[in-house]
Structure 1
Amino acid sequence: MSGGERCAGTARRYRDRNDTFIEIMEARQEQEHLVAIQEQCLQKLESLRQCGDKLLKEAKEAKELISNFDISPKEHDAAQMVKRAELERKEANKKEVEVKILQEEYTQLQRRKHHLLHRVQRDAVYRDFMQQALKLTRFEDEASLAGHLENLLRIREQLCEKQRLAEEQVDMQRKALLTFNSQHRLMLLQCSNQLSQLHHKLDRAQPEMEHWETKWKHIQGTAAKETLLLGLIKMAALNLYELTGGDVDGEKGVPLSDTDTQLDKLKMFMQDHKDIVRLYQGSSHRNDEEKNTLTLTQH
């Protein structure tokens, strides 16, 4: 059972007790009212009885007068007396009907009175409780205490209603949290499936990656060898350039890193020496021919 339901149950019990006390007070007031009505009815019944007795007596006297006297010149007065007696008889009958109605109402009031007295006796414990509680409070009468309790119960019901609404809000938040957790688990499952697929792709790509890593290492090794060879070539070109009298300092000198210019200078140097050797070889060949000619001439 939730806090709102417990609060509502307690409020209902307090309200039932307070309603019982209020009913006792109302029953007491109604009883006093019924007693007053009963006294009025009794007085009215007594008055109607007296009036009926008087009318019956007058009607009886009128009948006796009619039977004792013969018709005389005063017949007209006698007829009026008879008519009056008849009217009084009808009025008496009407009063008797009213008396019966009042007696029935009186009987119903008596039943209602007994019922209320039974309720008052049955709920006397609550009345005693309220009287004892009244002595412990600052209220002057039981009605003020009952009104105060009614206000407290109303406030309690409002608080219980707020608590019920808060519990409903908590239930809604709990359901939303469960929905969010379900969605979160679903997303985790989807991510796990994607991760498994990526691992599978990674496993398939691993051999190819190893192949390209091996190839890259080979390329790096070849590049290192070529770089070393290039360095040796540059050093050899620089040495040859310096051996040919090339200058690496000054304004007309070739920079150390300008291997292409150094090679061009070496090429020009070798071409010049080649031309010189060719000229030397041509001059030597002509001298040999001249020597051979002179020798032949002398012989």
Structure 2
Amino acid sequence: MTVNLEDYFRTVFEEHLSVSVSVPEVDLRTGATHLLDKQKEIKQMDTALRTQKDTFELKKESLRQRKEELKKKEEKLKDSLLQFDKFVQENDAKKARGMKKAEAERAVLREREREVQQLQRNIAALLAKKEQLQARVSRNRIYWSFIEKVLKSSKKFEEAGQLIGRFDTLLCTREKLLKRQSELERERESEGVELRRYLSERGSVLLHYNNKLSQLQTELDTVLSQALRWESTWNHIQATAAKETLLLGQIKVVTLNLYHMTSGVTGRTEGVNVDDTLEQLDKIQRYLQDRADIVHDLRSDAGNKSIPSDE
């Protein structure tokens, strides 16, 4: 806990001052004596405060040492608790390992029992198989007798193993030949199916292209017919265009002549372009309009002059 020394000493000093000031008796001493008494009291108060401060510091140091001792005891207690927890955990671990070991041993024992039972079943199965093999040997003894007779009558084989090996080789060769024949049959059938499918597809493609060729031939005939018709139309258009071009040239020449007759200017900055026929016609129209207005005004003036005056 943090202690504010300044607040503490201020409180103690105020208490002493309140005790000193609370005397209700009439003081008949002079001001200097009173001042000396006050200084004496202040010195006493300072001495008392220093004493209390030293006492407080001693108590504070004692509390600090006590706190350190308690902290050390707390750390020792924590270490003891950790060691105890470690001891308990080790005991639990040993117990768990012991239980696991016992369980593992029981599992191994059960596994060994199952293996023993399986071995007993295997022994029984082997005994049964032995009896079956003995029965087969008894049944097949006739074949061994036959092999011995063949060896006696044959000069090519001296032992039964050679005869059996040759027989196995022939059987293996026969199986390979049969297998190869079967593979060839399957390949032939597959190739036949593939050939028929290919011929069918090619026939379909050929029919499609024949139909496409017939359609294209029809379209070609139609296009040729249209081309002849458009060629005739183009010849007519060219003939008509030549006539209209000639007529257009004549119109341009006439228009240009009329424009010059109206004092129109061409080729200069203020003039009209020689090929700008529309502008020339516009100028000609304005010129004719101006002349028509002049004629109309002259006729109006002539009519007004022919009327007699009222005087």
Shorter-chain TM range is: 0.3 to 0.5
- Please, what TM-score do these two structures have when normalized by structure 1? 0.39
Structure of greater relative contact order (alpha carbons < 8 Å, 6+ residues apart)? 1
- Please, what TM-score do these two structures have when normalized by structure 2? 0.38
